[in-house]
Structure 1
Amino acid sequence: MYLDSIIKKKTFLHKSRKPKRQYLHTFTLYQELTSNFNNKYIGNLMSHFLFDLIKSLTKSEKIYFKRYAKFHAGEGEKNYLKIYDAIEGLKTYDKEVLPKLFKGTSIEKYQNSEVKYLNDKILLSLSNYNLNKSKRNKLQKGILMLEALSAKGLKKEALKKLRVLKANAYKQEEFTAILRLIELEEIILFKQGILGYKDKLEELGQQRTAINTIILNQNKYHMLRQEVREFQFSEHLFKAEMKILKDFKNQPLIKNIDHCLSKKSTEHWYYINVLINYLQSDFKSGLSISYAYVNFITKNIHLFDHTQILPAISNYIYHSALTRNKEHFENGINLLLELSHKKEYPEFYIKYILYTRNLEFAYYTNDVVLMQAYLELAIDLVENNTAQYEEAQIQYIYFNIVKSAIILKDHSLGMYHCNLWHQRGVMGYRKVQARIFSLILHFEVNYIRLMESEIITLKKLAKNNEREKDLIRCFYTFFNTMIMHPKRREISINKLQNELKIISQKKNTSFSFVYFHYYEWSLQLK
């Protein structure tokens, strides 16, 4: 419509007296506009989806796609494969490459349809490649086979397969698949007429009602899970004695596990309650629930993705560190090491948990030998393996490295990695920690000039960090006094210690002290 309106406007402004010339002028203009539109379309499509899709393919998926494409291509190389090779060869996105590369070829003329065809072929090959990758996909494959049997009128064979699929779907708690199977069973029975099947059809209706109730229950828990995840980054959570979190926790669905109507809802319940206890700094209760959570997933691993157990074990180990519970900590580490021998569990993620959680345990138990050993391993992760990790994980590794360097008094190492951290870009919720760590390191080696600009940056962070405002003000005042009046050192240190002690005891400001014991650090100042 937009293109047509442009053409109409252009032909009106440049109307020729001769109909033929007007038609030719309009047609030429249409070719010019559609050519420009197509060039933009292929660039935009690659930018927003196709480039990312191709770059996201694993090595195995790329090999499968090539084989799949060649099998269906026949003789000669197809245009869509040429586009695929061109995009696959790009290191970074450049929307100008494809139009230039295929200028004057048949691809330029039909680029819209070729790009769309390539997109469809990749998605089809991914669907086939993953058809047997998971139990859910196998169920979907079985449903497709069942639909084919039903369409061919092979009712007896269809019902036999349906019973097997339905039993597996209930076992795996794939409730949306169960709804589809109920629908297919009704279709098959209706084809045979309702005489003799009325009771069965009523039973299927009752099954549908029960399954819909379970799905609704599961969705409610999923929404609560997302809500509590967002709480940990909310400034409002830490106001009014954490009233928001208390009200949230008192909801019947969260208070009582008996409200869970499925094991998948139960998994949500465990996750929610582990995080709630963490946010309330009730680490002993968090340890108890996280231990039960790990046992629950282990017993029901057939219901969950293999990778779901790793975050659960990670939280269990972390709560063991926070409570300095060596027995639970060693148990968690042993569980992790057992999984490390199984190929379905990614080695890089296991290393991430193993190294960072050992650093945390070493920090909370003052084990400098353990800290030194895992500090070197953690440094290797950020120097050689960052491509495998999400940004939040990289930030957490840097946080542990710098924190450990402060404890070990390895100032040069701490400053080096703190600089790398800032060069990379510190995520919002870590900015206050990173800036205070940098100031601590510079203060301990007496780099006063470097501190002058940093305290200004620290002060500015108070605007968007309500829950850490008191901590920022306290450190800003201290470091500013040390810069301006170094002879007041003893008085300033005493004031810092008193203020940090007060802040650490307030419920709405003490959470920052979970990550680093600022008050304990201040006690070793002279």
Structure 2
Amino acid sequence: MTKDQKDNLFLLIKSLTKSEKRQFKLYVGRLEVNQDSKYLNLFNFLDKSKVYNESAILEREIVKKKQLANVKAHLYRQILISLKLNPSHQNIRSQIREQLDFASILYHKGLYKQSLKILDKSKEVAIQNEEKTLAYEIVELEKIIESQYITRKISTRTDELMIQSKELSTLNVISSKLSNLSLQLYGIILKSGYIKNETESKKIQAYFYERFPRFEFKELGFREKYWLYNVYLWYSFLLQDFKNCYRYALKWVDLFQEYPQMITVNPVFFLKGNNYLLEALFFIGNKEKFQNHLLKFQEATSKKKFPNDENVQALTFLYLNLNTINLYFIDGSFQEGVNRIPKIKKELDSFKNRLDEHHVMIFYYKFANMYFGHGNNKECIYYLDKIISNKSLLIREDLQCFARVLNLVAHYEAGLDYNIEALLKSTYKFLIKTNDLYEVQKEMIKFLRNLQYIYPQDIKKAFEDLRDTLKKYEDHPYERRAFLYLDVMSWLESKIQNVPIADVIRQKYYNKQ
């Protein structure tokens, strides 16, 4: 049975570096009894395999079918233990946990003084690195030990630990509530995208303020401020308030200037903050600031001291490349963008196992838009089909909706109008099903349906009428979302003026400047 690279053990083995594989073999080979063990033989076989093939494992008689599940589970665990021992995976968090484990062992052996000494040092490191949850665990263990190890300082020590426990607990609760709210807002935008009407706007505002915790800002540390800016950012994105998106994303990035040691401790937070800052600048259309921040972002991630584990590598690829593509959209540099796609696509394929489906689909949508702007409608349709054929509605519904609308336009532009009626019907049904049929989409579908009945000499007038109809929606608080996904107005102007879309967007950009 072949499970083309979807087996968890196989994916873990394929993610190992040469040094990690060597360390694993040294780790399991430390005992002679392991030299010919089933799980080591299975490791060597899977390491050399290009795909996971269960039948091939059984044919080689590496392990019997009844034993396979247990041997795989044991191998998986041994690899993780080996990775845990690797210095490259010994981050601050794991180091503090290790010290906490040591202190717990000493406590259970009755060596209270030694245990307290380790806990005191670990607590200081945890607080310095904003690991307040771990710091709280340490304080709670200190309280247990202090209740059994009587010293002359017990009265003052008890008060000190109680105050510290209360402060850490309060901040952890604030952080937890803010992180929960951030995740909930993020879940909403993944499911449905931006708000679509006044009802949704009121619902989101009520949802936000009901769950927003009370606190004194001056008492917040790095982690609490991080989640605070995170929450406001997602709230602003949902409301399409891109100026406030920029404001809170900038606060997020500046937070790392205030706490520079946190870049090493929390590189993912740093990467995400820079990504959202660039995304906000893209929606605002400020190319100068966008380029400056993108350059700073590239410089920061290319420094030798910047963390470079597999997760960080994948996210750095994701955020740098998505924003590099966005740069070409701002002023219509589609030729440059199209030239960049093959390289990004090749790297995207190598990172696919480390990126979620949602972000892969965003890449495809941006590729499709880039090819559309460049006039290569067949390539545009190719990438749109990858989104439309994805049956999972867990991917943003709004992305699927606008992929279908762009697909209609691309088919018209490519002259593939033999099945345009079927496409119109399926798009219309999908938009109704997802409750995403709004005025801009309605007007677009009506226009495309009627095009076949318009005389050639009247085509330009039809495009002008549609442009004038849609113009009133450009600044509409809910209808304007359509223009964030698809630059319909530039396409219409290009048809009216009979010039490439890139020329229209470039002229708009220069006029704006």
- Please confirm whether the aligned pair reaches a TM-score higher than 0.5, indicating the same fold: yes
Q: Which residue of 2 aligns with 1:411?
A: 375
Q: Which residue of 1 aligns with 2:410?
A: 441
Q: In 1, Cα distance between the equivalents of 2:420 and 2:6?
A: 43
| Pick aligned residue for 2:192 from 208, 229, 234 | 234
Post-superposition CA distance 1:343-385 (Å, at most 9, x none): 4355665454444334434433x353xx432431233211454
Q: Which residue of 2 aligns with 1:480?
A: 449
Q: Which residue of 2 aligns with 1:83?
A: 42
Q: In 2, Cα distance between the equivalents of 1:480 and 1:464?
A: 20
1:118 Cα shift? Answer: 2.7
Q: Which residue of 2 aligns with 1:126?
A: 83
Q: Which protein has greater RCO, CA pairs closer than 8 Å, 6+ apart?
A: 2
| Pick aligned residue for 2:326 from 330, 341, 360 | 360
1:270 Cα shift? Answer: 0.9
Percent same amino acid among aligned pairs? 18
Shift in alpha-carbon separation, 1:270–1:70, aligned structure 2, 3 A: same
Q: In 1, Cα distance between the equivalents of 2:438 and 2:248?
A: 32
- Residue type at the aligned position of 2:293: G
- Residue type at the aligned position of 1:308: F
Checking the alignment, whether the CA contact within 8 Å between 1:503 and 1:509 is kept in structure 2 is yes
Checking the alignment, whether the CA contact within 8 Å between 1:320 and 1:326 is kept in structure 2 is yes
1:475 Cα shift? Answer: 1.9
Shift in alpha-carbon separation, 1:75–1:56, aligned structure 2, 3 A: closer
1:250 Cα shift? Answer: 4.0
Match status 1:392 vs 2:358: yes
Checking the alignment, whether the CA contact within 8 Å between 1:217 and 1:265 is kept in structure 2 is yes
Shift in alpha-carbon separation, 1:95–1:486, aligned structure 2, 3 A: farther
1:442 Cα shift? Answer: 3.1
Post-superposition CA distance 1:466-519 (Å, at most 9, x none): 234433322221111113445563564344324423443432332121233313
Match status 1:310 vs 2:310: no
Checking the alignment, whether the CA contact within 8 Å between 1:298 and 1:309 is kept in structure 2 is no
Q: In 1, Cα distance between the equivalents of 2:213 and 2:143?
A: 37
Q: In 1, Cα distance between the equivalents of 2:226 and 2:33?
A: 49
Match status 1:201 vs 2:162: no
Q: Which residue of 2 aligns with 1:515?
A: 485
Shift in alpha-carbon separation, 1:91–1:460, aligned structure 2, 3 A: farther
Q: In 1, Cα distance between the equivalents of 2:215 and 2:292?
A: 27
Post-superposition CA distance 1:23-61 (Å, at most 9, x none): xxxxxxxxxxxxxxxxx9xx99x9875445444545443
SS at match of 1:525: helix
- Residue type at the aligned position of 2:240: S
Shift in alpha-carbon separation, 1:51–1:373, aligned structure 2, 3 A: closer
Shift in alpha-carbon separation, 1:202–1:468, aligned structure 2, 3 A: same
For structure 2, the 5+ residue unaligned runs are 497-513
Shift in alpha-carbon separation, 1:461–1:47, aligned structure 2, 3 A: closer
Q: Which residue of 2 aligns with 1:71?
A: 30
- Residue type at the aligned position of 2:487: H
- Residue type at the aligned position of 2:196: F
- Residue type at the aligned position of 1:455: L
Q: Which residue of 2 aligns with 1:289?
A: 248
Counterparts in 2 of 1:111-510, with a 5 A limit? 114-129=71-86, 133-193=90-150, 196-232=153-189, 233-234=191-192, 237-241=195-199, 242-250=201-209, 253=212, 258=217, 261-303=220-262, 304-343=265-304, 344=307, 349-350=315-316, 352-364=318-330, 366-368=331-333, 371-389=334-352, 390=355, 391-407=357-373, 410-412=374-376, 414-423=377-386, 425=389, 427=395, 428-486=397-455, 489-490=459-460, 492-510=462-480
1:320 Cα shift? Answer: 1.9
Shift in alpha-carbon separation, 1:378–1:68, aligned structure 2, 3 A: same
Checking the alignment, whether the CA contact within 8 Å between 2:226 and 2:252 is kept in structure 1 is yes
Post-superposition CA distance 1:80-121 (Å, at most 9, x none): 212333444444444444445438x7x567556544433432
Checking the alignment, whether the CA contact within 8 Å between 1:146 and 1:158 is kept in structure 2 is yes
Checking the alignment, whether the CA contact within 8 Å between 2:99 and 2:122 is kept in structure 1 is yes
1:131 Cα shift? Answer: 8.1
For structure 1, the 5+ residue unaligned runs are 1-39
Q: In 2, Cα distance between the equivalents of 1:372 and 1:355?
A: 16
Post-superposition CA distance 1:439-484 (Å, at most 9, x none): 3233234332253443233222213332344333222211111134
Shift in alpha-carbon separation, 1:132–1:351, aligned structure 2, 3 A: closer
1:306 Cα shift? Answer: 1.4
Q: In 2, Cα distance between the equivalents of 1:237 and 1:281?
A: 8
1:523 Cα shift? Answer: 3.3
1:251 Cα shift? Answer: 5.1
Q: In 1, Cα distance between the equivalents of 2:336 and 2:495?
A: 26
Aligned length: 476
Checking the alignment, whether the CA contact within 8 Å between 2:174 and 2:215 is kept in structure 1 is no
TM-score by length of structure 1 reads 0.79
Shift in alpha-carbon separation, 1:331–1:190, aligned structure 2, 3 A: same
Q: Which residue of 2 aligns with 1:20?
A: none
SS at match of 2:30: helix
Counterparts in 2 of 1:23-38, with a 5 A limit? none
